[in-house]
Amino acid sequence: MNHRSGFACFVGRPNAGKSTLTNALVGSKIAITSSKPQTTRHAIRGIVHRDDAQLVIVDTPGLHRPRTVLGERLNDIVYSTWSEVDVVGFCVPANEKVGPGDKFIANELRKIAKRTPVLGIVTKTDLANRQQIADQLLALQEVMEFAELIPVSASAGFQVKQLEDLLVQRLPEGPPLYPDGDLTDEPEQTLVAELIREAALEGVRDELPHSIAVTVEEMLPREGRDDLLDVHAFLYVERPSQKGIILGHKGERLRTVGSEARRHIEALLGTKVYLDLHIKVAKDWQRDPKQLRRLGF
Ligand SMILES: Nc1nc2c(ncn2[C@@H]2O[C@H](COP(=O)(O)OP(=O)(O)OP(=O)(O)O)[C@@H](O)[C@H]2O)c(=O)[nH]1
């Protein structure tokens, strides 16, 4: 049998379960999941290695109606990802009605479906009964024509292997694209920034959904120690009032954010970490292309 290799990405409205599915396929936490929408801001690749294939999964941010420069940038990332992959999985949760958001995405996907096969994936089947799952498959079929339709549950591990096979079948023949063992080719610094941002948003997402950006200025082993990494990072907010929210009473919240982020960074990098975290106010960074570039968007 010939070896196959190529790229896949999952699309779907926020919270559809794309990151969780990526993690279930890759078998290690490389994309950051959360219970609130739009936390996946970077195209993080996870890699499924098999004897007969290598599947590279690109995790895209949710497509949405752009209202700010950041929104437009995010959509650009989505479109350029779609045009680069061999197969797209369109995720719709089993326990939520197929709605206008899904139809909006389907309309956009239809434009690429002639060149790139699109699989319809009903996710989170553990949250629905058989009838609901069947109804959802039918509802999904209504919105566009799919190359395949499949129900899965990333949490329960239901049909994840089957989905992997369907994705692999759509890849072209070719040698592995990455060396064995690579989980992601996203720079560590980006992952670390994402973990800090995630910790900072915990519990205040409704107040500050898109107002936080994080840059990691420096990551260096502590002099004379090979078991301790110094991480210097800035957390950007748009207004002084938001700084107060992040800081909390007497800076207590920021300390919690710091230790929470540090725990995750240590788990990711497998080393002890000293996290030096400072807040900066960068006025309207979301609307300013120059600031966006500086913050890595
Ligand atoms: N019960 C159940 N929950 C799931 C499953 N997959 C994802 N979830 C939950 O659904 C929520 C959203 O999942 P994510 O994987 O972050 O969704 P996403 O589509 O990547 O979200 P964005 O990054 O916001 O676009 C999280 O709370 C997950 O734990 C599943 O198979 N079963």
Q: Is 155 in the pocket of ligand 1 (CB under 6 A)?
A: yes
pLDDT of the residue at 234:
93
Question: Of 166, 254, 155, 158, whose CA–CA distance to 214 is shortest?
Answer: 254
In a shared domain, residues 9 and 132: yes
Task: At 157, give phi and psi (nearest 5°).
Answer: 70, 15
Distance separating the N- and C-terminal Cα atoms of the chain: 41
In a shared domain, residues 121 and 227: no
Contacts of 262 (CB under 8 A, 6+ apart): 273, 274, 275
Question: Of 122, 119, 269, 87, whose CA–CA distance to 183 is shortest?
Answer: 269
In a shared domain, residues 83 and 151: yes
0.90 surpassed by complex ipTM? yes
User: How far is the centre of ligand 1, averaged over its atoms, from the C-alpha of 142 (Å)?
Assistant: 23
* Residue with more model confidence, 241 or 64: 241
Task: At 120, give phi and psi (nearest 5°).
Answer: -90, 120
In a shared domain, residues 11 and 139: yes
pLDDT in tens, 275-290: 999 999 988 777 777 7
Angle between helices 240-247 and 252-269 (to 10 degrees): 70
In a shared domain, residues 153 and 245: no
pLDDT of the residue at 203:
77
In a shared domain, residues 36 and 63: yes
- pLDDT beyond 70 at 60: no
Alpha helices by DSSP H, the chain = 18-26, 69-84, 100-110, 130-143, 160-169, 188-201, 240-247, 252-269, 289-294
Percent of the chain with pLDDT over 90: 43
In a shared domain, residues 142 and 223: no
pLDDT in tens, 201-245: 887 877 777 788 999 988 888 888 878 999 999 999 988 999 999
Full residue range of the structural domain in which residue 207 is found: 188-294
Whose C-alpha lies nearest to ligand 1, atom 26? 35
- pLDDT beyond 60 at 69: yes
Q: Is 81 in the pocket of ligand 1 (CB under 6 A)?
A: no
